[in-house]
Amino acid sequence: MGYYMFFLTLVCVLNFHTIVRSQDSNLESYIVHVELPRGPTVSAVTDDLEGWYQSFLPATLSSSSEDGPHIIYSYHNVFKGFAARLSPEHVKEMEKKPGFVSARPQKTLPLHTTHSPNFLGLNQNMGFWRDSNYGRGVIIGVLDSGINPDHPSFNDEGMPPPPAKWKGQCQFNSAVCNNKLIGARQFTIGNGTPLDENGHGTHTASTAAGNFVRGANVFGNANGTAAGIAPLAHIAMYKVCNTRCSESDILAAMDVAIDDGVDIISLSLGGPARNFYDDNVAVGAFSAVERGIFVSAAAGNSGPSLRTIENGAPWLLTVGASSVDRKIRATAVLGNNEELDGESTFQPADFPSTLLPLVYAGSNSRNPNAPFCLPALLRNIDVQGKIVLCEEGGGIGRITKGRAVRNAGGAAMILVNQQPQGYTTHSDSHVLPATHLSYADGLKVKAYLNSTSSPTATISFKGTIIGDDRAPTVAYFSGRGPNRASPGILKPDVIGPGHNILAAWHISVENNTNTKSNFNIISGTSMSCPHLSGVAALLKTDHPDWSPAAIKSAIMTTADQGNLAGNLIEDETLRPAIFFAVGSGHVNILKARDPGLVYDIQPQDYVPYLCGLNYTDQQVEIIVNRPVQCSEISSISQAELNYPSFTAFLGTGNTSETYNRTVTNVGEANSVYTVETIGLPGVDMKVEPSTLQFSGVNQRLTYQATFSRLPNAPSNAVAQGFLTWTSGRHSVRSPLVVIFQ
């Protein structure tokens, strides 16, 4: 006992000493950008970047001490610079040193959290999936919360060895990694393992490239064979997140992934829009794209408000979230015989069909938080044996609400949306019988409650239903444009499955300890991003010579604008979705493999665009990682970038804008395309020439698109339309957005 008392006392003394030192020195993690000296000394510095970086630290303090200022990560690929523990005083001293560019405290970024391959038209042993070898040989680097390596989604049955170029590491023991999971590294400070502790990384990795797993389901629902979009692609996991993700770790992982030899980087994380030179995800991704690596990134979960898009750099594929045509139906049956269809993954077979008393948590309460079923507030309501109506929101999760109802004695829960969530409902693994209803159906439940003194209800569980012809719809949470960082670039680029997605999970939501084949259904642009990472892997296999921009163009110009019923894609209100929600449309991988024409962009083409954003030379240099003088470059406007979409601004002073585009023929050598424009009320649009005649593969032709404001055009409004080049075999469509100022 004496030994243990002494040990605990020693730990407390040491911790107290560390806390005092930390407070005295006021250390934070900074991202520091530097530039190499120019002239004859540059080669020596390049050979010893570590020494050059160390020279920026205070000379009077030991750089090796964890208590004092010290370098956390040295970056070699993403940019010239490092992450370090520093105080504001240290930074002020550093600013005086030649070669210093910038330093700012790092930010932490949030994560953006079976049937979807079939929904995308991929079927085992046939079609494009078979023809593309299921992504065989492509390496997808996933930056996320780690991975559960013993999940059957990561078995290597049928997998070839990794390509010879692979240089990565496995920080699990050597028996864990295999030909599927070829690498696993952790970057979160002090965590020590790539093991996934919250399930997010396991889910996203299996969505992108999980192997085939038969009998995948959650509580017996959504049963089938689970597979990633590129099931024979290799996975390299870079653990950069726990509940949040630090910029220094993200940059370190990108830096290593570039050296490791990945082909795709999948980023289901991000933060609010910032200027690209101040957005370290964008900066790191540029260096990856420059080396031919395709980068797919989540659009963020801050919708449905406008200007909520994240990861808006034009060298990224920015992915919004849509639904699939599968519902796990749980129907609320009211005492007046009205039936309202909702969703829930947990579907108990023994829940009685007899009507139970129904109570609204927000009834007769002046507390504005009462409708949200906060645990403390439910204690004031008699819910014993009753079905409780709860509302979404209030800072408490959906499953937590159900747990609060269960703990208070409630028999079941009807969860209803608030207005912003509209018709987007979730198939959650609830802890009690429950259903999640739309906002409109929630109003019907409340109207029924107010119509009778003895309201009753039950829930009828109907299992998995396939064939919702309104799919895909845009999920309410999916980030929307306009793109704050660059309003002249339409974002998101595309939408893909991200709502109620079944994929691998790190633990059993059913508390089943007898299997490692655990799955869960969750939602977020975190889920749509790896779908498109897998799509890019298949296209990379089919077209290994395509650049990242060519792959992105193929995805965008072939995307669908219609749902399964043949109507325009709708948003969470069940009204046609605007382009700021869908971008180019919903990914259609079967068309993307053969787009006919692509809008290609080389890395150097972004420099005139960045100068056109009125960035300083130094700010552009931070992004492109080399010296730049914008005064010597013919800068271009945002809309002049050779992007597969157009965004034009027409004010009263600038009533006409003309933009150039160059398309590359990747279809038949001899082909003729004619142009058609539709939509754009208030705009007279001309395209010259109106016909493009190609005589060879990889031939490039340029056209001009002129947008002219008509006298009847409204002010402070937005017009939408399409520009489509059509040949006998291909249709190459670009979305058009005109913002009237």
Q: Where are the beta strands (DSSP E) in 180-293?
A: 181-186, 213-218, 221-226, 234-239, 244-246, 264-267
Q: What is the dihedral of CA 722, 727, 731, 732, to 10 degrees?
A: -60
N-terminal to C-terminal alpha carbon distance within the chain: 76
Q: Is 200 helix (H, G, I), strand (E, B) or coil?
A: helix
**507-536 core/surface letters (b: 16 or more CB in 10 A; e: else):** bbbbeeeeeebbbbbbbbbbbbbbbbbbbb
Beta bridge partners of 474: 322
Angle at 521 between CA 589 and CA 523, to 5 degrees: 65
Q: Catalytic annotation on 560? A: no
Out of 29, 115, 144, 547, which one is annotated catalytic?
144
The CA R_g of the chain, rounded to the nearest whole Å, is 27
Residue with tokens 């989604």: 153
What are the angstrom distances between the C-alpha of 304 and each of 301, 421, 587, 628?
8, 8, 20, 38
Out of 90, 112, 115, 200, which one is annotated catalytic?
200
Angle at 173 between CA 170 and CA 178, to 5 degrees: 60
Q: What is the 3-state secondary structure (H, E, C) of 312-360?
A: CCCCCEEEEEECCCEEEEEEEEECCCCEEEEECCCCCCCCCCCCEEEEE
CA atoms within 13 A on the CB side of 402: 18
**424-449 core/surface letters (b: 16 or more CB in 10 A; e: else):** bbbbbbbbbbbbbbbbebbebbbebb
How do the residues of the chain divide into helix, strand and coil, expressed in percent and rounded to 5? 25, 30, 45
Out of 248, 526, 528, 533, which one is annotated catalytic?
526
Tokens matching residue 252: 């370190």
Alpha-helical regions (H) of 95-233? 116-119, 127-131, 200-209
Q: Catalytic annotation on 523? A: no
Q: Catalytic annotation on 144? A: yes
- Whether the CA torsion 587, 206, 504, 188 is positive or negative: it is negative
- Which H/E stretch holds residue 504? strand 501-504
Q: Which of 257, 249, 269 is nearest to 311 (CA)?
A: 269
Tokens matching residue 611: 């100068």
**Residues contacting residue 210 through CB under 8 Å, at least 6 positions apart:** 153, 154, 226, 227, 228, 231, 503, 504
DSSP code, position 716: S
User: Where in the sequence numbering do the catalytic residues fall?
Assistant: 144, 200, 526
